[in-house]
Amino acid sequence: MSELFRVEGLTKSFGGLAVSRNISLAMPAGERLALIGPNGAGKTTFVNLVTGQIKPSAGRVVLNGDDVTDLGAVRRVRKGLVRTFQVTRLFSDMTPEEHVTLTVLQREGRASRILSRFTGDSTVADEVHGLLGALGLVEVARRKVGEIAYGQQRLLEIAIALALKPKVLLLDEPAAGVPSSETPRIEQALERLPPSLAVLMIEHDMDLVFRFAKRVVVLAAGEIIFEGLPFEVAANDKVREAYLGNYANARSVA
Amino acid sequence: MQVIAPSEKLVAPSHTGAQIGRDVAGVLLIIAAGLAGYWLFPDNLALLTRVIAVALMVLSLDLIVGYCGIATLGHAALFGAGAYAAGIACVNGVTEPLTLIVIGAVGGAAAGLVMGTIMLRAHGLPQLVLSIAIVQLFHEAANKASAYTGGSDGLSGLMPSPLFGVFEFDLWGQTAYLFGLILLVFVFIVLKFVVSSPFGMLCRGIKEDQVRIRAMGAFVFPVLLKMFVISGAVAGMGGALAAISTQVVGLDSVSFELSANALVMLVLGGLGTLYGALVGTVIFMGFEHVVSSINPFHWMTMVGALLIAVVLAAPKGLSGLTDRLFASGRAKGGR
């Protein structure tokens, strides 16, 4: 299979503490991968390493055949390696429309222009409305983000990521903090992601993981301990031990 | 159970139209206020011109503090750079007023480039300390280079030629005031375009969350540096206006005190609207003028009391207060 994205032996230690150990992973275009693991397993650290927020102690990140390990976060985004945040990072005084417009302009290299209008470009406006429509945000497009529901803010995070036309999308707990009544909307949005996009999702909601992912990777204590199909995860002894500690063994004995 | 939310499309009306209307009204209001000052206080035009020069500096400070979220206590460095650039040029034979304003803008922009390059290396409190250090260094440099700047005696003997070759800078300061007012309105309109451009929105984003902006694929440093240069140009024009109108440039134009006062005026008026910068400057300097003539010994106490009252009653500044009044008025009218 033609791989789009690969990490090789990614390692990060803070002092003596290794938070990521020798993680290797590859994703083809169109991949739907879920990265799960107990709290403190190093999932968000992994996303930070991949997207360049922090520098790895060792290992490589390869996108589309190019080694991007030495590139900063901004350049990786421009190459198509895009993330969302576990806790929403949005501008509370701006509207969803403004967020996505700014992102589209930025992608086209027009966001730092002074002698230009922010609104009024109809191709940009059409694209923005297409994105907001796809994520069901048209109703709140012109409300300040601080005033819209948290679930809608999570959707806006995804809209911003999509506006960058990513090749690889890393979703850091897209449903975190969303009331269960709103999770179906997130799930719907995830189903509608462009088919060619490679998606890695960190998530704790196992129902969402099982419905979304074609492949699951389990991280524990900074290491990959399992890689395989979703239905195999629950049966795996190592995974049970990582999640449940000694209780897993106790139960299997009983 | 009922379905509560009716499906509503694009709730708010296109607010860009309303925004433009409000800005046109705002500019007309500035012009009206400026002309009112001209008719009402014909004996105080020198003070009013000084208010305009400082207002330009506070406007430029708003670009940095209000739109980019960078606190600085050294903004007079840019104002002073413009004042000295224009002053030195004027003493050396460049006397055309518009040219002097441009020279002031260039001087301020250059100082903004230097100041931005240094300050943007740090964040938070160290950044604030750097800004103070920079204005002190500028102050000391102006003091030491007395051959060019006149040192602590100030640079005097500026003789700007008539504006457009027609309007002399008269003793009563009429020309200087009207010239300053036109300059202020022009700069204000240009800045309104700047802050509503994609660049301006990017700055607002940077102010709220730099990590998010980087995750959108935008570099932060060049954007902020650009704003520092623009801000420097505006502050420099203010300095040049002060130099032309008073025909002197003193060391106080690169002082920490002026920097701190500018920040106080901005906070008083309200951050991030441009209007707040103007309101704050007028109120602060007007208050200072009135109170210091009533009680020359305790006027600073009164200014302090005013500031505390404003910060407690209207944390978003005086312009924020009017916004709130309008908002509550609308809400009442709507119901």
A46-50, A187-191, B159-163, B214-218 — which is least confidently predicted?
B159-163
For the segment B30-38, the average pLDDT, to the nearest whole number, is 90
| B8 min Cα distance to partner chain A (Å) | 6
| A130 min Cα distance to partner chain B (Å) | 14
Name the residue among A114, A116, A164 with its Cβ closest to that of B216: A164
Query: What residues make up the domain containing A175?
Result: 3-253
Highest mean pLDDT among A215-219, A220-224, B16-20: A215-219
Domain total in chain A:
1
d(CA A185, CA A191): 10
| A170 min Cα distance to partner chain B (Å) | 12
- Structure confidence by residue, pLDDT tens digits, B43-80: 888 899 999 999 999 999 999 999 999 999 999 999 99
For the segment B97-108, the average pLDDT, to the nearest whole number, is 94
To probe the interface with A, which of B201, B202, B211 has the most A CB atoms within 10 Å? B201
**Is A78 touching B (CB cutoff 8 A)?**
yes
CATH code: domain of residue A12: 3.40.50.300
- Structure confidence by residue, pLDDT tens digits, A110-158: 888 888 888 878 889 999 999 999 888 999 999 999 999 888 999 999 9
A53 neighbourhood in chain B, CB within 8 Å: 211
Q: Do B197 and A113 touch (CB under 8 A)?
A: yes
Q: What is the DSSP code (8-state) at residue B44?
A: G
Pairing of strands A3-14, A58-63: antiparallel
A125 neighbourhood in chain B, CB within 8 Å: none
Element (H, E) at A206: helix A206-212
Task: Tell me if B103 sits within 8 A of B89, measured CB to CB.
Answer: yes
Measuring CA to CA, how many Å separate A123 from each of A193, B7, B174?
A: 21, 26, 50
Name the residue among A89, A105, A143 with its Cβ closest to that of B209: A89
Judge if pTM exceeds 0.90.
Answer: no
| pLDDT band per the 50, 70, 90 thresholds, residue A249 | low
Residues of A20-56 as b/e, b for ≥16 C-beta within 10 angstroms? bbebebebebebbbbbbbbeebbbbbbbbbbbbbbeb
Task: Tell me if B54 sits within 8 A of B235, measured CB to CB.
Answer: no
- Structure confidence by residue, pLDDT tens digits, A67-92: 998 888 899 999 999 999 988 899 98
- On whether ipTM exceeds 0.95, the answer is no
d(CA B184, CA B181): 5
For the segment B172-188, the average pLDDT, to the nearest whole number, is 91
- Structure confidence by residue, pLDDT tens digits, B310-322: 888 877 777 777 6
